[in-house]
Amino acid sequence: MTRETMDAAAIIAHEAALGVALDAGRAVLEAGGNALDAVCAAVAELEDDPHFNAGRGAVFTYHGTNELDAAVMDGRARDAGAVCGVTHTRNPVMLARAVMEQSPHVFLSGAGAEEFAREQGAVMVDPDWFATEERWRQLQELKARKLGWFDAGLKYGTVGAVAVDAMGHVAAATSTGGLTGKRWGRIGYSTLIGAGTYADDRAAAISCTGSGEQFMRVGAAHEICARIRLGGEQAQAATEAVLAEIGAMEGVGGIIYATPAGETGFAFTTPGLFRGRADSNGLREVGIFGGT
Amino acid sequence: MTRETMDAAAIIAHEAALGVALDAGRAVLEAGGNALDAVCAAVAELEDDPHFNAGRGAVFTYHGTNELDAAVMDGRARDAGAVCGVTHTRNPVMLARAVMEQSPHVFLSGAGAEEFAREQGAVMVDPDWFATEERWRQLQELKARKLGWFDAGLKYGTVGAVAVDAMGHVAAATSTGGLTGKRWGRIGYSTLIGAGTYADDRAAAISCTGSGEQFMRVGAAHEICARIRLGGEQAQAATEAVLAEIGAMEGVGGIIYATPAGETGFAFTTPGLFRGRADSNGLREVGIFGGT
């Protein structure tokens, strides 16, 4: 994905889809909802939209299935929930929230996670719900070209949202279909608490996307919060420092953050980062490549 | 598990088993092996020994199966590997190491992880290998008593090892059967990179065990390393601070650490912590309760 290879129609369509999710989150906050409600609303929109690699429109595994991961974290008491390998739950982010709020666990997987989803009355769908022709084509292209596991151009993508509400509480949510052609029950790093998702009212809410496993090795989302809290760094500097550390391990990615003081921002080392930002002063922006 | 409820024969048997694992790790280091080799050797012994909740002797899930999780991390370049939901691989810690060294991934799950294990020529066993009568009795007792999910007395246990070698490199490994009666594909926190297992030559190697999900929410293992590296704390103080933070969330547990400078230690808020420690100056101790 670069400015040169992405056509104008695709840019317009993706920016419109980002705007819908952004407005969903903003509407929650404007109605007095909290940060957790807002990030879940935004991510659920992105999951339902086939433009993004999460929920409907997720990439295919090597075996031709869609297996979804999601996580959510509430900065107030650092409550968290996550699921992986989900195949029938329409909105994995809402299931992650149910794990956080309705179970004694933090992290559930596969068929067991969906047994819990059914007990909770989650909206279940046929696996075909998630499948799109474009993602199927990408899997066939990957297999035909015998690409390495890390051909970043085709294979990743994660959706995430962070928010700070009027009470100064932060929350983060992340959802992904993982890598095109993933095998061996690979679990995504971006939906692991601490690696790609973290929220702490003492520091920030963080959601990450990236090409490699370096986010897990660095503990990226928790590391940014630790740098802010223990190292006294500004959120933007901490975010860029962690991306630099990931770069030294030959990883690339993008990170969004929100702090209890109301700062929001992002950084990325990929060619682009689909993103949107809004606040109560009327800011509303979406962007894909460098600058805005 | 308390000094009052554990009989003398059980204490002797567990201390002997700890000694075997301790000696396995020590032998690796004495032969010039590195920290990573040492922690894998020690944890593989503990997995094979039915006294501990990892590998053979793992607790049963709600559905009467043994599902194993393991993780390993090398402090040199912060390489890591982890598996969860393994049911046929004799030594999950060795599979975690294979994920780290032989795959482009960090974290594999379930049947997919074991497909990879077979490709790697790992030693596979019938699931009966892991089952013991005592653990089966514990599951029946749990079901009969209709205990809550968090009755800590029966239900947890994790094995782990940390080491520092002559080059000042550190490594950590952790392995567990999880919680007796666990459901819904619950993934253990102690074998998540950053939560219960972390190794960083700039700080320490950490392995955790505990009763709750608080270790994941705190990012305990990574947090200890962050406190040492960013906050300038001593390893013992950082370890105790993180246990206190977990305690404030109503969690309890035990943590072992080793630093590149050669410090080793532990702290626990449970009634006891099965543990052993050895060094090249002839120290060799095992213990279970407070003090030694």
Q: What pLDDT is recorded for position A147?
A: 56
> Sheet holding B68-74: strands in order across?
B107-109, B79-86, B68-74, B170-176, B159-164
Residue B150 has pLDDT above 60, yes or no: no
Mean pLDDT in residue range B210-231:
94
| ipTM score above 0.90 | yes
Any residues with CB less than 8 A from the CB of B178 and at least 6 apart, and which? B53, B58, B59, B61, B67, B68, B69, B156, B186, B188
**CB atoms near residue A272 (< 10 Å):** 17
Residue B148 has pLDDT above 70, yes or no: no
CA distance A107 to chain B (A): 6
Q: What pLDDT is recorded for position B182?
A: 81
Residue B291 has pLDDT above 60, yes or no: no
DSSP 3-state of A278: strand
What residues does B287 pair with on adjacent strands?
B275
Which helix (H) or strand (E) segment holds residue B240: the answer is helix B235-248
Q: What is the C-alpha separation between B125 and B102, in angstroms, rounded?
A: 21
Q: What is the C-alpha separation between B13 and B57, in angstroms, rounded?
A: 14
Q: Which residue positions in chain A have pLDDT lower than 50?
A: 149-154, 292
CA distance A104 to chain B (A): 7
Which chain B residue has the Cα nearest residue A80?
Answer: B217
Most confident of A169-183, B147-161, B228-242: B228-242
Q: What pLDDT is recorded for position A142?
A: 81
Do β-strands A253-258 and A205-210 pair in parallel, antiparallel, or remain unpaired? antiparallel
Q: What is the C-alpha separation between A85 and A130, in angstroms, rounded?
A: 13
Whether the CB-CB separation of B255 and B206 falls below 8 Å is answered with: yes
Phi, psi of A139 (to 5 degrees): -65, -45
Whether the CB-CB separation of B163 and B72 falls below 8 Å is answered with: no
The answer for B 227-256 residues in CB contact with A (under 8 A) is 227, 230-231, 249
Q: What pLDDT is recorded for position B154?
A: 47
For the entire predicted model, the pTM comes to 0.94
What residues does A258 pair with on adjacent strands?
A205, A264
The answer for B 69-98 residues in CB contact with A (under 8 A) is 73, 77-80, 84-85
Distance from CA of residue A232 to its chain's centroid? 26
Q: What per-residue string of b and e applies to B54-93 under the rule 16 or more CB within 10 Å gives b? A: bbbbbbbbbeeebbbbbbbbbbbebbbbbbbbbbbbbbbb
HEC secondary structure over B111-122: HHHHHHHHHCCC
Which helix (H) or strand (E) segment holds residue A224: the answer is helix A220-231
Q: Which of A259, A224, A218, A260 is nearest to A239 (CA)?
A: A224
DSSP 3-state of B43: helix
What residues does A92 pair with on adjacent strands?
none
Q: What pLDDT is recorded for position B292?
A: 41
What residues does A278 pair with on adjacent strands?
A284
Q: What pLDDT is recorded for position B147?
A: 56
In the residue annotation, B176 being an active-site residue is answered as: no
Q: Which residue has the higher pLDDT, B100 or A213?
A: B100
pLDDT tens per residue across span B158-209: 999 999 999 999 999 999 988 888 888 888 788 899 999 999 999 999 999 9
Question: Which residues in chain B are closer than 8 Å to A79, comparing Cβ atoms?
Answer: 217
What residues does A140 pair with on adjacent strands?
none
A120 close contact with B: CB closer than 8 A = no
State which amino acid sits at residue B91: N
Domains in chain A, CATH or no CATH each: 8-279 (3.60.20.30)
Mean pLDDT in residue range B131-135:
91
HEC secondary structure over A90-152: CCHHHHHHHHHHHCCCCEEEHHHHHHHHHHCCCCECCHHHHCCHHHHHHHHHHHHHCCCCCCH
Q: What is the C-alpha separation between B268 and B254, in angstroms, rounded?
A: 4
Using the beta-carbon criterion (under 8 Å), do A106 and B213 form an inter-chain contact? yes
pLDDT tens per residue across span B43-84: 999 999 999 999 999 988 888 999 999 999 999 999 999 999
Nearest to A216 among B106, B150, B187 (CB): B106
CA angle (B226, B227, B233) in 5-degree steps: 145
HEC secondary structure over A41-57: HHHHHHHHCCCCCCCCC
